[in-house]
Chain A
Amino acid sequence: MRKTSAWLQASPNDERILWFLLAFSIGFTFIFFPANYPIQRESLTSIFDIVFLAVCFSATGLTLFRAAKNRRTDALLCGSLGLASISLGNLYLLLMTLVGREVVTLSVGHYAQMCCYLFFIAALQAEKSLVSRFDKIFATAISMTALVFTFFVAWAVMLDDQVIMSWSNALLDVMGITASLSLAFEKKRLPFAWAMAVLFFLDGIDFILPFYVVRLLIASVSPPIYAGLGLIFLTSARRHVQKEPGI
């Protein structure tokens, strides 16, 4: 039996904050996307990036500290680290702009943005119950692909090789969609699996159709998606605790 601090249960306030963030980001998307779409200015995506950064950092703070303090190794920890990774990647790119260094090559910020998906894949793996031999082989294959992916992305960033980066991204999206769909028909994991599938699908679309409209659309729907993910991680962790009799 694993031990968990009592304050893990006292999470309604955190969930309320995440509900508020979700509502705020949905409202922001609905108001700003139609208003900004006809202007088609590259700088507009950065407004969404700042909102995204704020939402992601708040969701990270709420989920990560709870997961780490209670030494959880489930989807809550993996998911919150994923949120932390994408927040750091975006922060890096924002800081580059602030200090006047234009990011024209592949950078560590892109590396962190890509590797956040590895945490989400780990979160999907953590939710999966390894019953059959096939499940174990599937999980090992995912781990090995993640290792190969990390090597190639690090290599691409160090040598500024856009082709390797793009193909690694495609590989990751396929891996993520496969891992999400393997959970998509389990009733209890339905919201989590489909949110992940949408996330990887959007990333894949961004790779296949690199147009301004697609980029703006993805940038505008990202804040609500990530706020929603934080909420899913937190509520599923609370349900795990409530299931135990006597709590």
Chain B
Amino acid sequence: MIAEIWFDLFNSQVPGLVFSVLVPLLFLIFLVRDREAKAILGYFAWGIFSVILAYILNNRLRLAPNQAVRLSQDIAPIVEETLKALPLLFLARHLASSRNLILTSAMASGIGFSIQETLFYLNQLPQLTSLTDLVPILLRTVTTCLMHGMATAIIGYGLMMTIENRLLRIPMLSGLLAVAVTIHSIYNVLINTRLAIFALLMPAILYLIGLLLTQEPDKEEITCPPVNP
């Protein structure tokens, strides 16, 4: 089975595309001294690398009978969201001092993944003949990138909110994984239908909500007791 997976992987363009971005990025990560920048770049690199794992898992899972038609709708979102978010648990343990860093790193992991996915997708398209051919590609790139970034950021948000309450962490993150998976799946389904406009708008709306929520609280603050000491 391992030989089969190996053969499958190296017969595709995935490893080439991944390592062409990953290797230079790793050099940069080792050079950077700032701890936060290192974390963000590290998660970005993980997002890029996780494409390989997602490719292997998706390919294995679609081999079962009647599974190929369910791949983009029911299988890939679960596999991809889980892989992108997996190393965030490590971040919660070691970098809990900076709440926004968790959110940014989560988004970096999602964006890293989306860049590779888009490269893979673009590689399969025929050559562009005019500038107008670029518009749908750009539109898809922007929305895919935001969708992947925001889906992982949702899980990062859960982690950020449960730093002080560890007992809530597992149910909360498991639930948020389901929310991220559903958003991802809705995007994958709608993008090829007459309701594609909703798929294109959804990541942008999520991003705007994210921007609103990460703003600092109002100046005229009042103090209230910790809700669950």
Contact = CB atoms under 8 A, between A and B. Distances in A.
Contact of A112 (B165, B181, B193): B181
Given A3-B222, A95-B186, A130-B167, A115 B217 contact: no
A143 B223 contact: no
B93 interface: no
Contact of A3 (B61, B171, B177, B223): B223
Contacts of B21: none
B168 A126 contact: yes
A193 to B, nearest CB: 15
B25 interface: no
A150 B169 CA distance: 13
B162 A111 contact: no
B78 A154 contact: yes
A116 B217 contact: no
Nearest to B75: A158
Interface string B194-229: 110000000000000000110001101111111110
Interface string B162-190: 10110111111011111101110110011
B64 interface: yes
Interface in A107-151: 107-109, 111-112, 114-116, 118-119, 121-122, 125-127, 129-130, 136, 139-140, 142-144, 146-147, 149-150
Nearest to B212: A69
B178 A85 contact: yes
A78 interface: yes
Interface residues on A, range: 35 or more
A46 interface: no
Contacts of B186: 88, 91-92, 95
B70 interface: yes
B76 to A, nearest CB: 10
Contacts of B174: 115, 118, 146-147, 149-150
A95 B224 contact: no
A240 interface: yes
Nearest to A68: B213
Contacts of B189: 95-96, 99, 101
A122 B73 contact: no
Given A108-B182, A108-B185, A146-B171, A158 B224 contact: no
Interface of B: 61, 64, 66-67, 70, 73-75, 77-79, 82, 157-158, 161-162, 164-165, 167-172, 174-179, 181-183, 185-186, 189-190, 193-195, 212-213, 217-218, 220-228
